[in-house]
Amino acid sequence: MKKHKSNNRNIASVKVRPHSFRATHHSDITTVQTINTSQMKNILTLVFILLLISSCGGNDGKSVEKVIEQGDLQALRTKRTEIVATQQTVADQLQQIDKAIAKLDTVQKLPLVTTIVAKDTLFNHYLELQGNVETKQNIVLYPEMSGILTKVYVDEGQKVSKGQVLARIDDGGLSQQLSQIEVQAQLAKTTFDRQQRLWKQKIGSEIQYLEAKTNYEAQKNAVDQIKRQLAKTTINAPFSGVIDDVITEQGSVVSAGQNQIIRIVNLSNMYIETEVPERYLGSITKGKDVEVYFPVLNKTINTKVRQVGNYINPNNRSFMVEIGIPSKDGSVKPNLTAKVKINDYTSENAILIPQSIISENAEGDQYIYVTSGVDAKNIAEAKKVIITTGKTQGDLIEITNGITNGDAIISEGARSVKDGQKVKILN
């Protein structure tokens, strides 16, 4: 029993120490402010141990042993309730001490963050596709008559006009035949004219008049037929353009519809044809702005959609779009590969933020952090905000719900803060 009392005296002496610490704490704030974080942790640990010892004490420890030895269930439950109440008291006291330290600690370590201000801005979204340059006036000319290619009148790169003679094929004697038939046709015309005058004067028979008329018309048709055949011996330009390639050399034997003779191209009416997924059928229409980039030329052209197809390809569920391409300097060539960006969505009051600052919770909700209650020292509170996102363009994404104009959004340091946490904003 004496030993037991001695323990009580020792414990009582220990109990005084935390109270003496608190007295020192309140009397000399300057000393506490110089305590660093490591010392704070040690003091808190010591306070916790002292409070626990002062609450439980040596007698309590033995009494617990005695209660256990007695084997009384009700007594055990009562003792457990007392200890839990003691722990709660200690926890409350520690919380009070933490708050006091937070108020007095001028060198507290807060997360450092930067913020961006949400602003309404014009947002143009572009659908990026691949396309090839085409032209409706890029054809290869074939001969309409077999024979020897007697003459080629043009060279590669030469500009030609519509209807200009480009090459000629040997007519195989058709010119001589035409001359003979033209003489016969002239004689037939003279005979018909005379018979016609006589018939008007009621001289001669009707049959003579009809025979002369028929013969003249037959000779005239023969002349026209040979002229049409002779026209096939020349190759003419179907439109104005540039001779891109002389494929068959002069003196070669060619066959009708078999041998390629000349390629002619007109670069003034070119376009890009690209396939667009059917889900964009309602957003891509005629007149939409288009940005075309040619990687080979390192050149960008701004143009518009000039035609939208009306047919959905069942194989890949897409439709064709035609984009006009001006090429005044002739640098854009047919079959050139291009990257096409078609404006399919525009918002005049959109809020855009970097995609990198957006997080996602276990439920799949996207969220960011905003700051509120900024004081004179740029210390604010971080608040989690659930957002709804829209279309993306590059590194930016549109916020359709959750953020309003003027909100301060945490950018750098967004991954290291928590909801309700105090943060230091760096300007």
Could you please report the per-residue DSSP string of 161-211? -TT-EEEEE--TTHHHHHHHHHHHHHHHHHHHHHHHHHHHTT-S-HHHHHH
Q: How many CB atoms lie within 10 A of CB 105?
A: 15
Inter-residue contact 233 to 169 (CB < 8 Å): yes
Which tens digit of pLDDT belongs to each residue from 256-297? 888 899 999 888 788 999 999 999 988 899 999 999 999 999
Q: Is the pTM of this model over 0.75?
A: no
pLDDT at 326 > cutoff 70: yes
CA neighbor of 386 nearest in space, from 425, 412, 419, 354: 419
pLDDT confidence band for 44 (50 / 70 / 90)? low
Residue 366 scores a pLDDT above 70: yes
pLDDT confidence of residue 56: 47
The predicted structure's pLDDT at residue 40: 55
Q: What pLDDT is recorded for position 250?
A: 87
pLDDT at 21: 37
pLDDT at 95 (0 to 100): 82
Domains of the chain in start order, with CATH, are: 2-104 (no CATH), 112-123+348-425 (2.40.420.20), 128-136+265-345 (2.40.30.170), 141-263 (2.40.50.100)
* Nearest one of 117, 118, 126 to 391, comparing CA atoms: 126
pLDDT at residue 50 tops 60 = no
pLDDT tens track for 108-129: 678 889 999 999 889 989 999 9
CB atoms within 10 A of CB 382: 22
